[in-house]
C-alpha cells in the first residue's frame, strides 16, 4: 500500500462560535479545535484511504494527548510524533469576514513542533523517510525550523529520493513566518530544486515575486510536475505531455469558509497520483474536494460529507496556450 509522510505542525485552534460577539470587553465566544495545513492534508489523505504518518513534535500535556487521539481516530499514523516533556503545542485564532475569507493570529514561538529538527530522535525520524512513497510538506513547515534544521531536512529528503521516494512541496506561504522575503525566496528555491512535484498558487507566489506574470512565476520552478492554481478555480499544469488547463466544476452551494481549500486539494491530488491517475485527472479530483470543503465551516468537514469512494469523472480540460 502506498504511503505518505506528512511533516509539519498542528496547533490548538480557536474559532469564533456562532452567535459570539466580536469586539467589546467580552471578546466573544470561541470554540476550540485543532488545525494545521499539513495535518489537514494528512487527515484528508487518510479519508481517501491513503496510508499516512504525521511527523511533528508535541508536548506531554492534555491538549497534545487529545491531538494524538483525534489523529488516530481519523486513521492518521502517529508513530513519528515526538513527545517533549514540559512543552506545549502552538495556538492560533481564526476570524472570518462576510465572504468566508479568514485572518489568522498565532502564538507559536515556543511550540514543541519547532524543535523537531533538533532532538535526540531526529536522525531516526529523518532516516525513516526513505520508507515512504511520498514526502509532503509545505512552506509553513519549513518556516518553523531554523536554517540548520532546514538543511538537515533537505539532506534527508535527498537521500530518500535516491531510493525512489518522491518529494511534494506545497508553497503555502505566510509572510509572518519568515524573517524577511529574501530568506523565504532562498528557501523556496532550494525546495523547488529538490521537489518532484510542486503545488503552488498565484496567492503564494505573487506575495514573493510581485508583479510577475503566470509564465514568469512558473518559469521559476524547475520541477517536472507543477500544479499552479489561479485566483479563479483553474489550475495550470506542467508535466511531460502538458501543459494543460483544468477548470473546476461550477459551484452549486455557497462558500462558507475557505480554510483548508489548498490542503484538501493537495490531498486529493496526491491520492489520485498514487492511485495511478495522470496529473489532469488528479487536479480535477483536487478541485472537486476543495470545492466541497469550502462549503463547510472549519478545516475538516464532517465525515459524512466526504465524496463517495473512488469517484471518477471525465476531466474538463483544454490544452493551455504556450
| Catalytic center residues | 263
CA–CA gap between residue 284 and residue 268 (Å, rounded): 9
CA–CA gap between residue 94 and residue 40 (Å, rounded): 15
Selection from 85, 269, 13 nearest residue 166 by Cα: 269
The CB density around residue 125, as the number of other CB atoms within 10 Å, is: 21
- Residue 135 forms beta bridges with which residues? 5, 167
Q: Are 161 and 188 in contact (CB under 8 A)?
A: no
Q: What is the dihedral of CA 207, 297, 247, 142, to 10 degrees?
A: 40
Q: Which are the contacts of 151, defined by CB distance < 8 A and separation ≥ 6?
A: none
Q: What are the two backbone dihedrals, phi and then psi, of residue 290, each rounded to the nearest 5 degrees?
A: -60, -40
Q: How many CA atoms lie within 13 A of 210 on its CB side?
A: 3
Amino acid at each position: 500500500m502506498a504511503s505518505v509522510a506528512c511533516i509539519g505542525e498542528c496547533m490548538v485552534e480557536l474559532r469564533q462560535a456562532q452567535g459570539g460577539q466580536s469586539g467589546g470587553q467580552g471578546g466573544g465566544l470561541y470554540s476550540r479545535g485543532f488545525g494545521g495545513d499539513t495535518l489537514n492534508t494528512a487527515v484528508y489523505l487518510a479519508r481517501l484511504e491513503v496510508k499516512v504518518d504525521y511527523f511533528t513534535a508535541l508536548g506531554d500535556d492534555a491538549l497534545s494527548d487529545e491531538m494524538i487521539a483525534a489523529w488516530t481516530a481519523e486513521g492518521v499514523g502517529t508513530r513519528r510524533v515526538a513527545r517533549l516533556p514540559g512543552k506545549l503545542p502552538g495556538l492560533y485564532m481564526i476570524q472570518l469576514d462576510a465572504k468566508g475569507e479568514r485572518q489568522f493570529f498565532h502564538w507559536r514561538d515556543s511550540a514543541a513542533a519547532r524543535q523537531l529538527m533538533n532532538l535526540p530522535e531526529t536522525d531516526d525520524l529523518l532516516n525513516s523517510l526513505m520508507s515512504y512513497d511520498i514526502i509532503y510538506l509545505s512552506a509553513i513547515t519549513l518556516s518553523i525550523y531554523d536554517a540548520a534544521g532546514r538543511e538537515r531536512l533537505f539532506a534527508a529528503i535527498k537521500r530518500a529520493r535516491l531510493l525512489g521516494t518522491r518529494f511534494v512541496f506545497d508553497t503555502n506561504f505566510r509572510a509572518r513566518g519568515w524573517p524577511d522575503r529574501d530568506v523565504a525566496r532562498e528557501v523556496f528555491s532550494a525546495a523547488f530544486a529538490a521537489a518532484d512535484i510542486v503545488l503552488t498558487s498565484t496567492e503564494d507566489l505573487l506575495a514573493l515575486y510581485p508583479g510577475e506574470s503566470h509564465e514568469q512565476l512558473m518559469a521559476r520552478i524547475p520541477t517536472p510536475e507543477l500544479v499552479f492554481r489561479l485566483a479563479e478555480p483553474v489550475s495550470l499544469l506542467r508535466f511531460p505531455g502538458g501543459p494543460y488547463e483544468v477548470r473546476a466544476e461550477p459551484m452549486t452551494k455557497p462558500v462558507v469558509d475557505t480554510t483548508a481549500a489548498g490542503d484538501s486539494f493537495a490531498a486529493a491530488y496526491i491520492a489520485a497520483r498514487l492511485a495511478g491517475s495522470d496529473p489532469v485527472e488528479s487536479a480535477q479530483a483536487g478541485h472537486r474536494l476543495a470545492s466541497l470543503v469550502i462549503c463547510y465551516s472549519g478545516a475538516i468537514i464532517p465525515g459524512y460529507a466526504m465524496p463517495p469512494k473512488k469517484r471518477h469523472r471525465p476531466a474538463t480540460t483544454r490544452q493551455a496556450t504556450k
